[in-house]
């Protein structure tokens, strides 16, 4: 879940809606 959290953090920084890239 740490990886998903990092992706969400990056997406939020870019202004992109949190999408489940890694499931």
DSSP code per residue over the chain: -HHHHHHHHHHHHHT--------
pLDDT in tens, 1-23: 677 778 777 766 666 666 666 55
Q: Which pLDDT belongs to residue 3? A: 79
Q: Which pLDDT belongs to residue 21? A: 61
Taking the C-alpha atoms of residue 15 and residue 19, their distance in angstroms, rounded to an integer, is 12
Per the CB < 8 A criterion, the answer to whether 20 and 7 are in contact is no
Per the CB < 8 A criterion, the answer to whether 18 and 12 are in contact is yes
- How far apart are the two ends of the chain, measured CA to CA in Å? 9
């Amino acid at each position: 879940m740490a990886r998903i959290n990092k992706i969400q953090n990056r997406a939020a920084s870019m202004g992109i809606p949190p999408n489940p890239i890694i499931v």
